Amino acid sequence: MTPSRSADSVPTLPYKHRFSTTELDEIRDCYYAHGFAIIERVIPGPMVEKLKRSIHEVVLPGGKIEPGATKFCTDFVERSPACAELLLCPPYMDISRCLFGDEMSLNRSAAIVKNVGAPVGAWHTDWCAPDSADAGRDAVLNRGVFASVWLYLSGTHPSRGGLAIIPDSHTKDWVGPPGFEFTRARKSFYRKGTEPVACQEMDVPGVLPLFTEPGDVILFADHTYHGVFPHNGDQLRYSCGLAFRPGRAPLPDAWPLSESAQRFIASCPPEVQRWVEFYPGLNTTDAPRKERG
Ligand SMILES: O=C(O)CCC(=O)C(=O)O
Ligand SMILES: [Fe+2]
């Protein structure tokens, strides 16, 4: 379905996809029907600022980032007490719980700083098919069912490195945008007749550019295709998120827990132990760390 645009160019859809934190049944229905939902005013202003400071300290320890660069941390929850505090924040946690119930496990976490001048982030799904070219622990973590609960702490806008998604692209039998073919293992798509590399056009049919404020959550499903607009703003873009998988069981094919992951789990209070007990971490000490971005 191609979203139409209202006069102020905020795209509209023929169904509700922006919710308040109390509309949990509707959030769940939208997520399963369309592969995403936006939830407004989930965390308060002071928590937004605390998370931004923490991302800055962890992702940019020397304070420096090249123009146009994107820097990641993929074990953020282990390094950031502010991020771990999200596990104690009911409005934030209720979002994943409304999808999976209390029987769920923290799967992974990430934080990203994107500098002004960053180019398009090509279209992709985070999900890794068994035949995908992605290898290593990222692939193992992204092989199953999971939901990503992202906080874009500088807000989201197409002019400043904002996220775009394709509604309804979350199902295994999604056929791709008209006129496009999938790249290997459906990781991305490309315009028919062009090089089979991940698409960088941000106006593919069906795209929904997202607009959010700093305390809002962008929730999307494991298969949902997303891309990132170039960052033409004037401030660093800060984002972080946790991803949860259903069930309380070890991740299949997981690795020995790193000391950092063990310390993180031990540091969590009793009321969140049920969600972190089967957190696998990434154990980057015994595996090469994949550069992102
Ligand atoms: O930077 C973003 O907004 C999205 C990043 C992303 O899609 C990813 O790391 O998989
Ligand atoms: Fe992604």
What are the tens digits of pLDDT across the range 194-224? 999 999 999 999 999 999 999 999 999 999 9
Provide the pLDDT for residue 291. 38
Q: Which of 70, 124, 228 to mutate to test the pocket of ligand 1 (most atoms within 8 A of CB)?
A: 228
Return the SS3 of 272. helix
pTM score, whole prediction = 0.94
Atom of ligand 1 nearest to the CA of 226: 7
State in Å: Cα 70 to ligand 1 middle: 10
Q: Which of 59, 112, 212 to mutate to test the pocket of ligand 1 (most atoms within 8 A of CB)?
A: 112
Distance CA 23, CA 18 (A): 10
The greatest distance separating any two alpha carbons of the chain, rounded to the nearest whole angstrom, comes to 56
Strand partners, 219: 37, 149
pLDDT, mean over the chain: 93
Domain spans, the chain = 14-271
Residue 145 has pLDDT above 70, yes or no: yes
CB 77 within 8 A of CB 111: no
Position of tokens 């056009």?
A: 201
Distance CA 191, CA 182 (A): 9
Strand partners, 189: 182
- Measured from CB, residues less than 6 Å from any atom of ligand 1 are 112, 121, 126, 163, 226, 228, 239
Taking only the tens place, the pLDDT of each residue in 235-268 is 999 999 999 999 999 999 999 999 999 999 999 9
What top-level class would CATH report for the domain 14-271? mainly beta
Taking only the tens place, the pLDDT of each residue in 55-111 is 999 999 999 999 999 999 999 999 999 999 999 999 999 999 999 999 999 999 999
Distance CA 28, CA 17 (A): 11
Position of tokens 């991803």?
A: 243
Model confidence at 283, pLDDT cuts 50, 70, 90, reads confident
Atom of ligand 1 nearest to the CA of 72: 9
State in Å: Cα 267 to ligand 2 middle: 28
Model confidence at 274, pLDDT cuts 50, 70, 90, reads very high
Distance CA 14, CA 168 (A): 13
Residue 10 has pLDDT above 90, yes or no: no
Distance CA 156, CA 165 (A): 12
Model confidence at 157, pLDDT cuts 50, 70, 90, reads very high
What residues are neighbours of ligand 2 (ion), with CB under 5 Å? 126
Model confidence at 288, pLDDT cuts 50, 70, 90, reads very low
Model confidence at 9, pLDDT cuts 50, 70, 90, reads low
Residue 46 has pLDDT above 80, yes or no: yes
Extract the tokens encoding 87. 């596990």
Higher pLDDT, 291 or 273: 273
